[in-house]
Amino acid sequence: MGIGNNTTLQLNLEKGEPTLVPPAEDTNQKGTLYFLSNVDHRYQVKVRTVYCFKPSDNRGGDDVTEVIRDALSKVLVHYYPVAGRLTTESDGRLAVDCNDEGVVFVEAKADCSIEEIGDDTVTMEKLVYDVPAAIHILDVPPLAVQVTKFKDGGFVLGICVNHMIFDGPAAMDFLNSWGEIARGLSLKVPPSLDRTLLKARNPPKIEFDHQEYLHMEDISNTSELFKEELLYKWFCFDVNKLERVKTKAMEDGVLGKCSTFEAMSGFIWKSRTQALKLKHDQKTKLLLVVDGRSRYDPPLPENYFGNGVGLTSCICTAGELMEKPVSFAVRLVQDAIQMVTDGYMRSAIDYLEVTRANPSMTLSVLISTWTRLSFDSTDFGWGQPFIAGRASLPGKETALFLAHPKEKKSMNVCVSFPASSMKIFEELIDI
């Protein structure tokens, strides 16, 4: 997703009425509540993604909508929580009522060929169905699907997921399983649905200070800045530019080594702070989303269906960040990532059990990387998508890293800025 042209198409769609797709068979789960961990409770947002497929003769005269709908009903038998709805337990916790109500499904038709669509946020959001009444997180179904057919035979699968049910790896496992069934195959690896693996300990054992990133209210003056018109833009960092960022991070000899993610996170955080012109004595925070699946001891099972990610943070003054070299920011990033161990993750789960606190989103920037997610592996029988990825950002203070759809060693970065700051940011990252 995000080739870099940021062009907007006046896309006209004819949408059908939403229907519900229940599991193809009785799941034997009706009347049960599916446990959601404290990690799941953190992510009370919607995530929209799109998968764009060119015309193909692979399936002959098969109707793409019917194939996708039929395979969805079959995969829901294995992933039965996706067919349920969020509810509140007696103690106030959220859980999934496994009522087999079904996935929200919409068919749409576009008045152009799929080759004409751009990759901008405005166009892509039209290709994802968003339940109109879903204001509170309880109203957001686990999954809503829109299949949009184009004049030339191409189609787009747009999905909106409730992040409490899926994180990135879990969503990709679900999509790939869905695609396997659509192609007439059996599931390679069934989902591991036991989320009690991330249940709080009894009694809770809090070993780290998690309040720092959970409750730092009014950490920046960005609330005033973001009253301006907000712009979302994709930037392509090709292989050479990524190398220049890493070189810049290591040029003063402070760092012995650093990964591309670490270098880019520090570079974007520093550049963003400069572009927003934060006060020198103002604290600024970077939240990092880290895949914790392999960091648990023992690691979470393959195809763990749930949120296996962790949050870690870096905090300093804007003055320090702006005046010191990039290596300063990158070292803070490295230290924060190294904190994410089994003990840290389980301590955070226990902290949330005691406090029921949600992360403060009054922050400088949250960075999430989807570069290792296999968007281009999704195949329903018409080949792999030529554009795939996130259709929008979840919030105004977020930056997202994705692999380039064609140049796999390049990276696309999506950021949001007030209009007055975007130009400054563009100049700062042009190295």
pLDDT, tens digit, for every residue of 301-324?
Answer: 989 999 999 889 899 999 999 999
Do the beta carbons of residue 130 and residue 144 sit within 8 Å? Answer: yes
Please state the CATH superfamily assignment of the domain spanning residues 13-198 in this structure: Chloramphenicol acetyltransferase-like domain (3.30.559.10)
What is residue 252's predicted lDDT score, i.e. its pLDDT?
95
Q: How many whole angstroms separate alpha carbon 119 and alpha carbon 409?
A: 19
How much is the pLDDT for 351? 92
Q: Count CA within 13 A, CB hemisphere, residue 113.
A: 5
Cα atoms in the Cβ-side hemisphere of radius 13 Å centred on 157: 27
Q: What is the pLDDT of residue 241?
A: 95
Low-confidence spans in the chain with pLDDT less than 70: 1-9, 118-122, 211-228, 358-363, 393-395, 405
Domain boundaries of the chain, sorted by first residue: 13-198, 211-428
The predicted structure's pLDDT at residue 360: 61
* Residue written as token pair 């591991």: 192
Q: Could you tell me if 273 and 319 are in contact, meaning their C-beta atoms sit under 8 angstroms apart?
A: no
Predicted confidence at residue 363, as pLDDT, reads 54
What is the CATH T-level fold of the domain 211-428, as seen in this structure?
Chloramphenicol Acetyltransferase (3.30.559)
φ, ψ for residue 422 (rounded to 5)? -60, -45
Candidate list 163, 173, 350, 404, residue with the active-site label: 163
Judged by DSSP in three states, 155 sits in strand
According to the model, what pLDDT value does residue 227 have?
67
Question: Which is the catalytic residue, given 100, 173, 350, 379?
Answer: 379
Q: Do domains 13-198 and 211-428 have the same CATH topology?
A: yes
Is 163 an annotated catalytic residue? Answer: yes
Structure tokens given for 101 = 């109500």
